[in-house]
Amino acid sequence: MNQIAYAFEKIFNCSFGSIYDQQEKVFDRKPFNRTKALDFLRNLIIRKDRESKNKQDEK
């Protein structure tokens, strides 16, 4: 979880503070579909990572 939070902080230039507090807030939401949300976030990280690698390769 810390690695995911770090990646988001790096990609979006922001800070989440304590990631475990934020994780608890996400999981407390109902009737929020956690699996879909986590899959979306995972795919977003993968896409941004690929984009940044492609930009670095172009240089």
pLDDT reading at 5 higher than 80: no
Domain ranges of the chain: 2-58
**Confidence class for position 1, pLDDT limits 50, 70, 90:** low
Q: Which residue has the higher pLDDT, 16 or 24?
A: 24
3-state secondary structure of 40: helix
- Whether 22 contacts 28, CB under 8 Å: no
pLDDT in tens, 17-59: 776 777 777 777 766 677 888 889 999 999 999 998 888 887 6
Q: What is the pTM of this model?
A: 0.43
Report the residue count for the chain.
Answer: 59
